[in-house]
């Protein structure tokens, strides 16, 4: 369903002190313009034509749903444990199938013939995405040097490519979650960091283990810290195809969230008081997110342009990131975690 690549952040080793040599380049957040969240009741549209999408139910199987103007029909395609379900059309699916001991490999399913083909036999694939008629998959994403590979759609050829493909922006930096920083209150938070990288395109430069370790240590002089307050993995959403990403950080003492919008190297920051945000997606120049008040009774789904303008509410308070299945035909599709019904919100 999701044709774009969702960026994965690399996680550095946990320490209890600030990384030596890191430069803080976070903007003055106190001077950021305030974004006013106003909630109203939104009526959801019905699809004008049947929408077909595939999704996975936890520990049960792969399902197909036809969501139409009339009734909705859902059927099971296969039993098993699946994730990362992608397709360019309704006839060919690509997904991760999970086995014992947390193994995972890429499979292709031809829907009409129900022909299932195993494309990899590695058992350790973290995620993959489709781009330029190829499959890009990632191994060891939680390490300093993740493996990124480009593979033909039939799985018959593969080549290792540069891990800079995991970075949104203009390939000048590697973005990752830095080492833990201990606050005066003895809490530990993990900042969003970046380091400059050589421009190599997709080419993978072979390095010896001692070179990788050496480069990692000496590069700390060039480290830049982007975030100031609490930051979590789910607070980052990147889209390499549009050269953009967003992240949010939350100042708990001031009950203030800061929304950072990056596009082609330019950063816009907006301050939101009394609300917590969760990024959902980046689609056609708009960043989508959920907003919830501190008491959780008020909230909704919103969209904002990547230049910080045009804030609009498109949904109500019932959905979280975990309910979001992806986008299809300019519709955001959600599955209600409580009753299993489906809802669409129109893209802007």
With contact defined as beta carbons under 8 Å apart, do 89 and 102 qualify?
A: no
pLDDT of residue 210: 46
pLDDT of residue 220: 52
Q: Across the strands, what pairs with 195?
A: 174
Segments of the chain scoring below 50 in pLDDT: 1-5, 7-8, 10-22, 168-170, 209-219
- Full-model pTM: 0.82
pLDDT of residue 280: 94
Angle ∠(246,252,253) on CA atoms, nearest 5? 140
Q: How many structural domains does the chain have?
A: 1
- pLDDT tens readout for residues 220-240: 557 788 888 877 778 888 776
- The Cα-based distances of 325 to 25, 113, 154, 243 in angstroms read 35, 25, 25, 22
With contact defined as beta carbons under 8 Å apart, do 235 and 248 qualify?
A: yes
Asked if residue 130 belongs to a domain, the reply is yes
Burial of 133 (0-12, 13-18, 19+ CB in 10 A): exposed
- CA end-to-end span of the chain: 18
- Size of the chain, expressed as the number of residues it contains: 348
Residue with tokens 């990788």: 212
Asked if residue 5 belongs to a domain, the reply is no
Residue with tokens 């330029």: 132
Asked if residue 2 belongs to a domain, the reply is no
With contact defined as beta carbons under 8 Å apart, do 346 and 314 qualify?
A: yes
Q: Which domain holds residue 103?
A: 10-346
Nearest in space to 41 (alpha carbons), one of 344, 298, 272, 319:
298
With contact defined as beta carbons under 8 Å apart, do 221 and 21 qualify?
A: yes
Asked if residue 53 belongs to a domain, the reply is yes
Tokens encoding 152: 């033909």
pLDDT of residue 104: 93
- The Cα-based distances of 191 to 97, 223, 230, 348 in angstroms read 32, 12, 7, 32
Burial of 40 (0-12, 13-18, 19+ CB in 10 A): exposed
CATH of residue 123's domain is 2.130.10
How far apart are the C-alpha atoms of 153 and 130, rounded to whole Å? 9
């Amino acid at each position: 369903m999701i044709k774009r690549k969702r960026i994965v952040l690399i996680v550095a080793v946990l320490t209890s002190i600030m990384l030596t040599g890191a430069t803080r380049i976070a903007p003055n957040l106190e001077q950021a313009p305030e974004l006013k969240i106003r909630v109203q009741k939104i009526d959801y549209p019905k699809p004008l034509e049947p929408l077909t999408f595939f999704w996975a139910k936890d520990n049960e199987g792969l399902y197909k749903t036809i969501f139409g103007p009339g009734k909705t029909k859902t059927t099971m395609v296969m039993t098993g444990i699946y994730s990362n379900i992608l397709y360019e059309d309704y006839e060919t699916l690509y997904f991760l199938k999970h086995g014992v001991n947390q193994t995972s490999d890429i499979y292709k399913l031809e829907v009409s013939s129900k022909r299932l083909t195993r494309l990899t036999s590695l058992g350790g694939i973290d995620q993959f995405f489709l781009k330029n008629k190829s499959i890009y998959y990632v191994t060891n994403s939680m390490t300093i040097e993740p493996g990124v590979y480009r593979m033909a759609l039939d799985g018959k050829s593969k080549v290792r490519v540069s891990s800079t493909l995991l970075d949104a922006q203009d390939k000048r930096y590697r973005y990752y979650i830095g080492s833990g920083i201990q606050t005066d209150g003895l809490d530990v938070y993990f900042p969003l960091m970046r380091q400059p990288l050589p421009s190599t395109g997709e080419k993978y430069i072979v390095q010896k283990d001692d070179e990788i370790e050496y480069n990692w240590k000496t590069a700390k002089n060039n480290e830049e810290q982007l975030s100031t307050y609490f930051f979590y993995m789910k607070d980052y959403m990147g889209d390499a195809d549009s050269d953009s990403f967003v992240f949010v950080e939350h100042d708990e003492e001031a009950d203030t969230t800061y929304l950072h919008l990056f596009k082609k190297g330019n950063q816009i920051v907006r301050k939101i008081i009394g609300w917590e945000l969760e990024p959902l997606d980046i689609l056609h120049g708009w960043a989508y997110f959920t907003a919830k008040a501190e008491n959780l009774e008020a909230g909704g789904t919103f969209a904002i342009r990547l230049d910080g303008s045009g804030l609009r509410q498109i949904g109500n308070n019932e959905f979280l990131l975990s309910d979001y299945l992806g986008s299809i035909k300019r519709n955001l599709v959600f599955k209600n975690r409580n009753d299993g019904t489906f809802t669409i919100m129109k893209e802007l």
